[in-house]
Homo-oligomer: A and B are copies of this chain.
Amino acid sequence: MIAPANPNKAVILVSGGLDSATTLAIAKSQGYACYALSFDYGQRHRVELQAARQITNQLGVIEHKFIQLNLDNIGGSALTDMRIEVPITGITHQIPITYVPARNTIFLALALGWAEVLSAYDLFMGVNAVDYSGYPDCRPEFIMAFEKMANLATKAGVEGHPFKIHTPLINLKKTQIIQAGLRLGIDYSLTISCYQANSTGYACGVCDACRLRAEGFRVLGIADPTRYLTQSL
């Protein structure tokens, strides 16, 4: 596919998972000059950063920046405090302990800083509020409030270059996200969604992220390229 001409730069948050890979492919398909940003934040599933690197290599970006940030210094989540176990019994209606306090606010804030330096006024984030873990900072009302805040916070924002936070997946089902990504040529075997993937990239198969991902492929009847340690629990 030939992307439409688009002279604009965009900063895309790339975790290494399925959703952010799809988001990057969408930004590419819209012709943006893509700058990928990943965070080495003390996450349990740090192996996802290798996936992030493979994804940006496959899809192609102008630059891929990694920011180091010790959120394990703050803790308070099963993803940043190794003493707290990742739940494996299925998705509930409560905000789970894998919620990382203020994570998307922190990630978007850093993306905003880099975007302003780049004169990139478009930010892309693969948040989803349908097939998700119930995190408050994945919802449209959060994204809208962040965007409004960003345009009061920055020199660019107050001088007539407003930032736009694009969340192309926010209202999609996991099946729709996978279909969109496959149409755009993503190799999902490169991506890692699992909250506790091991150091060789094998997924647990039973955390919320694994369940949401596996269910998406299952409903579509498409072979799931994820390398699972177990699928039988």
Contact = CB atoms under 8 A, between A and B. Distances in A.
A12 to B, nearest CB: 16
A6 interface: no
Number of copies: 2
B153 A76 contact: no
Contacts of A68: 68, 70
A141 B150 CA distance: 11
Interface residues of A, number: 44
Contact of A136 (B71, B142, B153): B153
Nearest to A136: B158
A67 B70 contact: yes
A99 interface: yes
A105 B146 CA distance: 10
B75 A149 contact: no
Contacts of A142: 149, 152-153
A69 B153 CA distance: 19
A102 interface: yes
Contacts of A136: 152-155, 157-158
A48 interface: no
Interface stretch (A26-34, A111-119, A215-223): A111-119
B113 A102 contact: yes
A104 B155 CA distance: 12
A130 interface: no
A3 interface: no
Contacts of A168: none
A101 B154 CA distance: 6
A73 interface: yes
**What 3 A-B pairs have minimum CB-CB distances, sorted nearest first?**
A76-B117, A102-B113, A101-B116
Interface of A: 65, 67-71, 73-76, 95, 99-106, 108-110, 112-114, 116-117, 136-137, 139, 141-142, 145-146, 148-150, 152-155, 157-159
Given A109-B109, A148-B148, 16 more contacts: A75-B117, A100-B113, A101-B113, A101-B154, A102-B109, A102-B113, A102-B153, A102-B154, A104-B153, A105-B112, A105-B113, A105-B150, A136-B152, A136-B153, A136-B158, A145-B152
